[in-house]
Amino acid sequence: MFNELDTVVLAHDLKDHNLTRGDVGTVVHCYTSGKAYEVEFVTGEGKTVAVVTLEQVDIRPMQRQEILHVRMYATA
């Protein structure tokens, strides 16, 4: 279960949003059922590129030993 403002990692590609497995997002809303979350993905400058409703199986917590990696975001 995740909480608002948790940093999460995308578990698989979301081609409709040009997001790739491993992209980092922030939980911005938790639905009361705990089965779905609104997750925001931003560029390095803080520009929102997607806010997506995801289930718990679509995201995972960031691990302490992981580091961030940069890639270019391809607009749709």
Residue range(s) defining the domain that contains residue 26 = 7-61
Contact 9, 22 (CB under 8 A): yes
pLDDT (0 to 100) of residue 76: 59
For residue 50, tell me if it sits in a domain. Answer: yes
Number of structural domains in the chain? 1
2 inside domain: no
**What per-residue confidence (pLDDT) applies to 54?**
98
Report yes or no: 70 and 39 within 8 Å, Cβ to Cβ: no
pTM: 0.92
Q: What is the pLDDT of residues 9-26, one digit of tens each?
A: 999 999 999 999 999 999
The residue ranges of the chain whose pLDDT is under 50 are: none
Q: What is the pLDDT of residue 38?
A: 98
Does some domain include residue 67?
Answer: no
